[in-house]
Structure 1
Amino acid sequence: MTSYVVRRVLQAVPLLAGISVLIYVLLQMTPGGPLAIAENPGSAGRVTAEQLERLRNRYGLDDPLYVRYLRWAADLLRGDFGTSFNTGRPVLEMIGERIPVTFLVTGLSFLVTLLLAFPIGIVSAVRQYSVFDYLSTSVAFLGVSIPSFWLALMLLYVFTFTLGWLPSFGLEDPRQDYEGLVALWDRARHLVMPVTVLALVSTASLTRYIRAAMLDAIGQDYTRTARAKGLSERVVILRHALKNGAIPIVTILALEIPDLFIGSVIVESIFAIPGMGRLFVESAHLRDYPVLMGILMIASLLVILFNLLADVLYAVLDPRIRYR
């Protein structure tokens, strides 16, 4: 197992390098640039041609594309994600300020997803073709079909603008200086809608996979053998069917966490949450390439790490799987 993990980590290095090249080239090919506003003819009175040239030299924008990439990659290997074109601050420092908020939102969303999806998926499979199964399947398909931004706007309309129960933006009330349990309650009220949006969309998708995996496991010979041995239905479902049916579910979960980070871009923008997703949107508007590259590389690394974790969990769940 250890040698397998080491090989996978080594294989991730050229994969990340290829991803970085692709992302860097695509970003550089997008219309506009970090100096697009200054280059606008309407800005000529404020920014002279000499000042504009100094800015281009400062950021190395006149250098060939491959030179800029190699410079950025060399800095990245030293742990330097570069400096923001917009703020002049280190990119890693800016991401470090935002990523705890994103971890909080996505972590709570993932926890709620697990608490909802597994019971619903298991009961739906055990009681196949029941009223609960039809209802949960219909709701799951509806949840997959509804865009997350539309769901967020509907929640805002109902619970903020109509009922006035929940705050509409941020993580805390800027007009108050709460402390202790009151501050915790204020933070919880601000998190209800963002977490609900991410959790419902993820639950709708995951429930369908859990139901399909459990239906396949329940129909296997080992499940029938467990019942023939006189084991209780609860033990048969949870110890035998769920454990063996969890292997395809692990694959989905490995991709679900990076998907939550991607979904946070929309949720954090709508609810004005100061997380990494909102930073990505702000940087995209300003063509702040170093910040965009830093966020995209972190997202790519998460995808690779969670896929590696899924491969390791395969061997834990199924003793027949061996890595040599």
Structure 2
Amino acid sequence: MKFALFLASRLGKAVFVVLGVVVVNFFLIRLAPGDPAAVLAGQAGAGDPAYLAQLRESFGLDKPLLTQLYLYLKDVVQLDLGFSYRNHVPVLDLILERLPATLLLMSSAFVFSIIAGVLLGVFAAKARYNNRRQWLDSTVMTGALILYATPLFWLSLMGILLFSVVLGWLPAFGMETVGSSLTGLARARDIATHLVLPTITLGCFFMAFYVRLTRASMLEVIGMDFVKTARAKGVPPEKVVRVHVLRNALLPVITFAGIQLGQMAGGAVLTETVFAWPGIGRLMLDALLQRDYQLLLGIFLVTSVMVVVFNLITDIIYRYVDPRIAAGAQAQGA
């Protein structure tokens, strides 16, 4: 019952957040300079005022702004995100076609970044705690700082030059080999090969956060009384690190991971553009250049929902990882 109330509260807040994002995005898009009807008429080679008026009417641009907002919210509730005049398909169909590629890239980069970041952070913290190996800590932290300071697009281009052009180990562009007609495991291996470079490029940037955060949290927890007590009882050092130190040190990492998942959607725009990855990040860039307002609004809505869902999952995981959160909620309810 307590968990059901917690989940209902979070879902209610999530709905209001998504609604607020939809309204703000709608007004921001409408405040952008330029007329999408004029752009479409120019692409069709027609500048007739009657044709422009017909286009504005067909897209609802001739109505007052608040009326447009009401009609848009009404359609969103019915899962109708509009029609992409540039691609000549419904916006929802176009997004659902590209969404699996983005989710695959984001999930792969997230898993890579958090696993590598936590492992390197633990390694750096243990090296720092052991005064004889502080140079290893300095090496790991310097590498993490370099990755954090390196622009994502430059890292992507250097990865293509090194591993694709010079060494020829990995494909540079696309999600799978064009015209290969592969199926089953062969197609999965082909996609996995194309996924390596974008995953490492996007994951390395965020991995730097987890390295520094894990190291700082580990060093803070190592000096606490319960860790000293465990050592005094004769608990093996590796078990102390794994059971007592790491579990408590991961709490801020889990919190930050939920935020980073949302930021990964933004980083995927650059990564998908450089590697020609057919996801919604690249689709959003194309929609922006083409002034496809309906498609832009649809992508903003879907990415907002993704961020809210990621944060909701983080709250649920955090509640189970740290029992003090649930205990505090029960105490407040009492």
Output the TM-score relative to the length of structure 2.
0.90
Q: Is the 8 A contact 1:265 1:278 kept in 2?
A: yes
2: CA distance, partners of 1:30 / 1:262: 20
Runs of 4+ in 1 over 6 A off after TM superposition: none
Q: Is the 8 A contact 1:122 1:211 kept in 2?
A: yes
Q: Name the residue aligned to 1:30.
A: 32
Aligned to 1:177, which of 174, 181, 194? 181
Shift of the alpha carbon at 1:179?
Answer: 4.0
Shift of the alpha carbon at 1:303?
Answer: 2.2
- The letter of the residue matching 2:63 is D
2: CA distance, partners of 1:321 / 1:165: 47
SS of residue matched to 2:89: coil
Q: How does 1:52-67 map to 2 (within 5 A)?
A: 52-67=52-67
Q: Name the residue aligned to 1:163.
A: 167
Identity in percent: 34
- Shifted more, 268-277 versus 105-114: the winner is 105-114
SS of residue matched to 2:22: helix
Give the count of matched residue pairs. 322
SS of residue matched to 1:230: coil
Q: How does 1:29-48 map to 2 (within 5 A)?
A: 29-38=31-40, 46-48=46-48
Q: Name the residue aligned to 1:293.
A: 297
**Structure 1: segments with no counterpart, 5+ residues:** none
1: CA distance, partners of 2:102 / 2:64: 35
Q: Per-residue CA shift, 1:208-237, capped at 9, x if unaligned?
A: 111111111111111111111211111111
2: CA distance, partners of 1:45 / 1:84: 19
Q: Is the 8 A contact 1:246 1:317 kept in 2?
A: no
Q: How does 1:56-95 map to 2 (within 5 A)?
A: 56-95=56-95
Q: Name the residue aligned to 2:108.
A: 108
Q: Name the residue aligned to 1:5.
A: 7
- Shifted more, 14-23 versus 271-280: the winner is 14-23
Q: Name the residue aligned to 1:97.
A: 97
Shift of the alpha carbon at 1:180?
Answer: 4.5
Q: Per-residue CA shift, 1:233-253, capped at 9, x if unaligned?
A: 111111111111222111111
Q: Name the residue aligned to 1:141.
A: 145
Aligned to 1:260, which of 243, 264, 268? 264
Q: Per-residue CA shift, 1:129-150, capped at 9, x if unaligned?
A: 6122111100111111011111
- The letter of the residue matching 1:140 is A
SS of residue matched to 1:35: helix
2: CA distance, partners of 1:178 / 1:315: 43
Q: Is the 8 A contact 2:81 2:92 kept in 1?
A: yes
- The letter of the residue matching 1:48 is D
SS of residue matched to 2:323: coil
**Structure 2: segments with no counterpart, 5+ residues:** none
SS of residue matched to 1:295: helix
Shift of the alpha carbon at 1:308?
Answer: 2.4
Aligned to 1:238, which of 237, 242, 245? 242
Shift of the alpha carbon at 1:46?
Answer: 3.0
2: CA distance, partners of 1:293 / 1:192: 31
1: CA distance, partners of 2:263 / 2:38: 31
Q: Structure 1 residues 64, 96: closer, same or farther in 2, change over 3 A?
A: same
- The letter of the residue matching 1:105 is L
Shift of the alpha carbon at 1:89?
Answer: 1.5
